Amino acid sequence: MILHNTQRTEIRSSSPAIEWPTLMVFLATYGLWAIATVFLWQVSPILAVLAAALAIAQFSSLTHEVLHGHPFRNQTLSEALVFPGLTLFVPYLRFKDLHLQHHFDPALTDPYDDPESNYFDPAVWARLPAPIKALLRVNNTLFGRMVVGPAISTWALVAGDLKAALKGDRRVILAWALHLTGVALVVWWLVAMGTMPLWTYPIAAYLGWSLLKIRTYLEHRAHEAARARTVIIESRGPLSLLFLNNNFHVVHHMHPNVPWYRLPALYFSNRDHYLRRNEGYLYRNYTQIIREYLFRAKDPVPHPIFPVDKGGAVVGSDDATELRGGAGIVEERHAGLIAARH
C-alpha cells in the first residue's frame, strides 16, 4: 500500500500533545540511572557500570526522539528532559544539528555532506598512513565499531568542533557550553548522591555509546538511489526497545515526525511498500547482523560509489513527484531541516 497525501497528513497531525509512552521510557531510564549510581555499586560494581551504560544508551535513543519533536509539542520543554549530560561525549545540540543534516536524504553516505557517514573519499583514503587504514578497517567490523568506534567518533567530533569554535562558530560554542553545564549536573549527582565512583562515569558512557554502535552499524549503505540507502531490521526484541525502534530506519527517514512506538505498526501495515522503496535492504534481526559481521566488514572504508548521486528524477517511478533523493524529501520533512544545513 502506498501512502497518499491525506494519509501522510494524518501521520503528522495525529500525535497527542503529550506522548506518554516516551515519558514512561524517560522515567524508567532516569530510574535505572539512579539505581545504578546510588544502590548497585554496593552490590556489584560491574553490574552498576553495566546498568549505568544501559541507561545512557537508552537516554541517547531518547535524545534522538527529542530532536525530532517528542514527547511534547513544546520543543523547549522536550529538550529540558535531556539537559543532563549523561551521554558525556556528545553535546545534545551538536547531535541535533548534525543529525538533522543527516536527514537530507540525497546526501546519505556522502563522506562530506552526511555527518554520520563512515565512508571516506577514495582520494583521501589513498593518502592515509597504513596504520590509520588498518584501524579504520577494524572499525568497519561490528566488533571494531563497538570497541574503537566511540573513540574514533569522539576524536572526529571534538577535533572538528574545536576548529569551528576557534573560528568563532557561536552555535558550536553554545552547544558545548550547554553540554558542559549538563555534565556538571551529572557530576554533582554522582558526588552528592551516588555511590558509584566518578571515574566509572566515562567508562559507562563509552559502553553506552558502544551499544548504540550496534544500531548505527549498517543503517545506511552505498547505493546509486538515495531511497535505497536505508535499512530495515525487523527486530522486535530488547535491542529494538533500546534503540526505540530505529531499526525500522527507512520508515523513520520517510516519516521522521512519527514517534518511536508507532513505527513498527506503520511498517508492517505497509511492508511491501517500504521494502520496494529501499530495494529490499533488509535484515531479519540483530542476531543475523552479529553472526555475519561481528568480525567481518560489511563495507569498504572508501566510498564505492563516489561521488555520491544527490539528485535527479526517478524515471518510470510509480510516484511521478518522487526524487531519487529519497522518500523523506517528498513524504515528510522537518520544518527546520533545510535550514540546519546552512
Ordered by start, the domain boundaries in the chain are 5-341
Per-block mean pLDDT, blocks of 10 residues, the chain (342 long):
43 74 98 98 97 98 98 97 97 97 96 96 97 97 98 97 97 98 98 97 98 97 96 96 98 97 97 96 97 96 94 40 35 34 28
Q: What is the dihedral of CA 155, 243, 121, 206, to 10 degrees?
A: 20
pTM above 0.85, yes or no: yes
Angle between helices 200-216 and 45-67 (to 10 degrees): 50
151 near 251, Cβ under 8 Å?
no
Residue 94 to residues 171, 200, 273, Cα–Cα distance (Å): 8, 24, 33
Predicted pLDDT at 96: 97
DSSP-derived 3-state class of residue 333: coil
Report the pLDDT value the prediction gives residue 311, as an integer from 0 to 100. Answer: 75
Contact between 83 and 57 (Cβ < 8 Å): no
Contacts of residue 143, defined as CB under 8 A and 6 or more positions apart, other chains included, come to: 294, 295
d(CA 68, CA 267): 19
Distances in Å between the alpha carbon of 307 and those of 16, 32, 143, 223? 42, 45, 28, 11
